[in-house]
Amino acid sequence: MKQETNVVSASLNGVRNSPRKMRLIADLIRNKEIQTAIDLLSHSRKRKVSFIFKKLLLSLLSNWEKKNNQSYDSENKGFLYIKEIKVDQGKTLKRLRPVPQGRGHRIRKRSSNIVVLLDKKKET
């Protein structure tokens, strides 16, 4: 049996922002319609993180258009939603910060890996 899937994915690796900060915005747009999510990101106070997610969602829409050979226009709005969004920890850059008495404290510059899945709503 062949199972038809409408799931499309987009990912972004090595984002120079900590996963903890990224998950705050990821939780905000999880399970939302794609247009609603883009609107929420446009008005978010976390500018840097929301800009990254907005670009990723636009890439996700482009992937969906290529896969389904149809454009996402005003007639098709409202049936695509964010099925899953994962933010994992990427590589950590380790740096040393000099402190008094000849010591050094470690600074960890964290990065994130993001995966977003887009799916079509079931018609009821």
Compute the distance between CA of residue 95 and CA of residue 108 in angstroms, rounded to an integer.
Answer: 6
Residue 3 pLDDT greater than 60, yes or no: no
Q: What is the CATH number of domain 8-120?
A: 3.90.470.10
Residue range 27-56: mean pLDDT, rounded: 95
Q: Are 87 and 26 in contact (CB under 8 A)?
A: yes
Q: Are 41 and 54 in contact (CB under 8 A)?
A: yes
Q: Is the pLDDT of residue 119 over 70?
A: yes
Q: What is the mean pLDDT of residues 37-42?
A: 95
The two structure tokens encoding residue 85: 């969004």
